[in-house]
Structure 1
Amino acid sequence: MASKETAKKEDDRPVVLSVQHVAKSFRLPTEQATGLKMAFLNWTKGVSGFTEQKVLRDISFEVKQGDFFGIVGRNGSGKSTLLKIISGIYVPDKGTVTVNGKLVSFIELGVGFNPELTGRENVYLNGALLGFTREEIDAMYDDIVDFAELGDFMDQKLKNYSSGMQVRLAFSVAIKAQGDILVLDEVLAVGDEAFQRKCDNFFTKVKKDSKKTVILVTHSMDAVKRYCNNAILIKDGMIIASGDKDKVADQYTLENIRVDQKHSKPKKNEHPEGLNDRVPVFRITPVSQTVANCSDPFLFDIEYQYDGDDGYIAIAMNDIKRGGIPYDSGQKNLHVKAGHHVLHMSMPLKLFNNGEFRLVGSFRIPNKTDEKRTDMIAYTNDDNSLVFAVRDPSNTRDYALLNDSEMKMTIQGYDK
């Protein structure tokens, strides 16, 4: 009963930020006209002089009072543009943004700071840029200085500060500003270890304050899982995952792994890396969700096309985070026939702790001189291999490979 009342109470929280169907594009110059003649020639050729880059496409979400809301995505996905629209720096081409409360935006460390002014003067300058009156800045000044631990340096010019000192001052101005909604972009990794502990304590305190709302853009999935209660994942200007912070963080991890896989596109009339005329098709694709529960079997397909006699497929499982190969099916484990076929595969996951893995396949034929051996004639490149993550809802430990529920050490006795 208590859980239902708590859920209802959370549902009744007011919406402090509503983003509805927001889209934003930028025009990028493609050809410069150095004079009227060149401009006229471009016009006659139908050259517009720019290309339109769609950065955000129909973005919609809501943030409620007390949320610690995460926005994640790779560089170039549109996160910073979205924050600038929320902060009123950019105007969307389409859609609306509604803010209920005083919003304090801190998009880039040090923006609005002047190196020729003192630390004290920069606090008042930056506070004014954030929309605070001098009286409001007076009231928060001591807290800003104490948090930054720069009391002995506030009357020195900013250009004499170390980069770490500048970061601490800028960050302190942002988080000590008394706003209802705090918008932060990539600021959790500032300062030394002691200052980061102080920042961690601050965010832990803010997270417990039902009146304060934080919108955080970060590449740290540990920060998302630790602080946030909701999150969205943006890719190519669109939201591809939203809601549960752990699921969004896991999806981002997989997206990151896929995009980071380096590969070269084949030239025309050439096979992709790892394939050839004898094996022109060879790929592993998921059937189960790529963020898999360790209690369920993981289902996947192996598609291949093979022109020959006896053939074998070997599957190796690579541990992306910890390194090594925790499983190899063996060279002659899967005997396959010629032609174009799809194998439906199942693999248990209950043995594994949390982790990210890659399934890599190799296509093999019998060695002509040694019947115990096989020769590899094709393999799945990065594009054709399968990346997935294992998550145990009851276990947050991901240091070791094996799951405690499956791999337990027990004392059999003591020395006599």
Structure 2
Amino acid sequence: MSKKALEVKNLYKSFNLPTEQANGIKQAFVNWTKGVKGYKKQEVLKDISFTVEKGDFFGIVGRNGCGKSTLLKLISDIYSPDSGKVIVNGKLIPFIELGVGFNPELTGRENVYLNGALLGFSHTEVEDMYDEIVDFAELEQFMDQKLKNYSSGMQVRLAFSIAIRANTDILVLDEVLAVGDEAFQRKCFEYFKQIKKQKKTVILVTHDMASVRRFCNKAIMLESGKIVASGDPNEVANLYSIENIESTAKADKKSKKNTAYIQTKVENKVLTPKDTLEVEVKYFVPEDRPVSFGISILDEASNRITSVIDDGFFIDDNNVEITSTKKGVYTYNYTLPLDLFNNRDFEITATLFAYDKKKDSYEPIAYTTEEDISQFYVRENKPRGGLLKTRGSWMSVKSKKEKKS
């Protein structure tokens, strides 16, 4: 018997996107005489090939618009490819569209039986598993309400609870954790642990790199419709994180030309506890006024790990640490030993403060925006328990200071 659960061979898929509207024969004729086709061709997937073996927990990652959902719909036989083929060895259950198979005018209870029937269960079989489905979804008190009154999170919990009861060889999941609350996500993680032990075949599409590292034994990364990385899930997840940061860093900053801003930058993003983190802080103040800034490191749950207010050039009468007093762009470098950090993802934020004469105090005038926050990842072969032994204020070293007018 074949060890392959799924084969994707030289898959191409494109869509025709309308560019001109023709409300009648006359307009269509005018468009034709002008050489206007009325559509443009968008290539979504370009020569995609990979194999999923039986028992694989296979991850698919990539930024929005890279072709992940289209690929899953081709695998699930919802779309047909332009060329290439998908070979599925066994029964495949896709969980890729929230609410597919649900009727919003029916109650939660009625939708359980309806969705169960669509998955091939008899009425008696659904009855036998009904209590387990409702218990997993934690929706006991809502089952006699119409589905249209459910939140999106409640709907996905119910749909997922039904789907995992299906007798399937391959389970396809698309961002199932995206709308679940923390308690539901823990249940999903426990379920993933169980099916991983049972060697069931799972294809998981997600933006959560922690899940890729935790559960997947293989992964691919899509970019602009092509596979740009495949194989070890840790390497694929690290590449995705780095690519995501670099793409964000290219965001247009023209709006900041005459507005105060503050940025953080980390060149080496994947580190070990033996390394030293090097951080560059850059800020712009558009007018002459006393300015200072603060830096914080947060973990993946947004817990503050450590922080520091810059030691500054001098201290004023109010004991406020000042970094500059003149208009301009300033750059500082800091270092931080990572010996107390373990396997986690971290981000660095900063706040710029300026003196407000009316309030006679220092007030924040700029924060690191989403594209200006730096991220780094601590990785080690043998992860230690716990998060981090709090260091308090980090031991920072100012190695460079420059001002550009």
Bin for the TM-score computed over the shorter chain = 0.5 to 0.7
Tell me the SS of whatever aligns to 1:141.
helix
Letter in 2 for 1:59: I
| Residues 120 and 351 (structure 1), Cα distance of their counterparts in 2 relative to 1, 3 Å cut | closer
The answer for the alignment partner of 1:216 in structure 2 is 204
Deviation at 1:41, TM superposition (A): 2.0
| Pair 1:173 & 2:153 matched | no
Q: What letter matches 1:52 in structure 2?
A: K
Determine the C-alpha separation between the residues in 1 that align with 2:389 and 2:16.
49
Letter in 1 for 2:107: T
> Corresponding residue for 1:252?
240
Residues 275-326 of structure 1 deviation map (CA, whole Å, 9 limit, x = unaligned): xxxxxxxxx998x9x756677999xxxxxxxxxxxxxxxxxx9979779999
Gap change, CA 1:401 and 1:41, over 3 Å in 2: farther
Deviation at 1:262, TM superposition (A): 5.0
Secondary structure in 1 aligned to 2:80? coil
5 Å-filtered alignment, 1:104-119, equals 104-119=93-108
Match of 2:113 in 1: 124
Unaligned runs of 5+ residues in structure 1 are: 1-11, 267-272, 274-283, 299-316, 329-346, 359-381, 408-416
Compared CA separation, residues 401 and 27, structure 1 to 2 (3 A): farther
For 1:166 and 1:14, locate their aligned partners in 2 and report how far apart those are by CA, in whole Å: 35
* SS of the residue 1:215 aligns to: strand
Q: Equivalent residue for 1:197?
A: 186
What RMSD, in angstroms, separates the aligned Cα atoms of the two structures? Answer: 4.4
Match status 1:241 vs 2:232: no
Distance 2:217 2:73 in 1: 22
Cα distance in 2 for residues equivalent to 1:257 and 1:226 = 21
- Alignment identity in percent? 58
In 2 relative to 1, CA 265–242 (structure 1 residues): closer, same or farther, beyond 3 Å? same
Partner of 2:220: 232
8 Å contact 2:266–2:376 — kept in the other structure? no
1:24 and 1:57 in contact (8 A); partners too: yes
Q: CA 1:200/1:355 → structure 2, altered by over 3 Å: closer, same or farther?
A: closer
1:264: which partner in 2?
252
Q: Which moved more, 1:349-358 or 1:110-119?
A: 349-358
CA separation of 1:54/1:294 partners in 2, compared to 1, >3 Å: closer, same or farther? Answer: farther
Unpaired runs of 5+ residues, structure 2, are: 258-264, 278-294, 311-334, 349-369, 396-405
Deviations 1:29-64 (A, max 9, x none): 111122222212221222111111111111111112
How far has the Cα of 1:143 moved from its partner? 2.7
Aligned residue in 2 for 1:59: 48
Distance in 2 (CA, whole Å) between partners of 1:113 and 1:296 is 52
**The 10-residue stretch of structure 1 (112-121 or 234-243) with the greater mean CA deviation from structure 2:** 112-121
Q: Quick one: distance in 2 between partners of 1:68 and 1:140?
A: 26
Match of 1:413 in 2: none
Q: 2:381 aligns with which of 385, 389, 393?
A: 393
Q: 1:27 to 1:130 in 2, by over 3 A?
A: farther
Structure 1 length-normalised TM: 0.64
For 1:388 and 1:153, locate their aligned partners in 2 and report how far apart those are by CA, in whole Å.
Answer: 42
One-letter amino acid of the structure 1 residue matched with residue 111 of structure 2: N
**TM-score, normalised by the number of residues in structure 2:** 0.66
Secondary structure of the residue aligned to 2:7 is strand
Q: In the aligned structure 2, how far is the partner of 1:119 from the partner of 1:140?
A: 15
In 2, distance between residues paired with 1:160 and 1:285?
A: 46
1-structure distance, mates of 2:101, 2:70: 18
- One of 7, 10, 17 as aligned partner of 2:6: 17
Structure 1 residues 400 and 297: alpha-carbon distance in aligned structure 2, compared to 1, 3 A threshold? closer
- Alpha-carbon distance in structure 2 between the residues aligned to 1:323 and 1:48: 57
Match of 2:33 in 1: 44
How many residues are paired up? 327
Seen in structure 2, the aligned counterparts of structure 1 residues 114 and 16 have a Cα distance that, compared at 3 Å, is: same
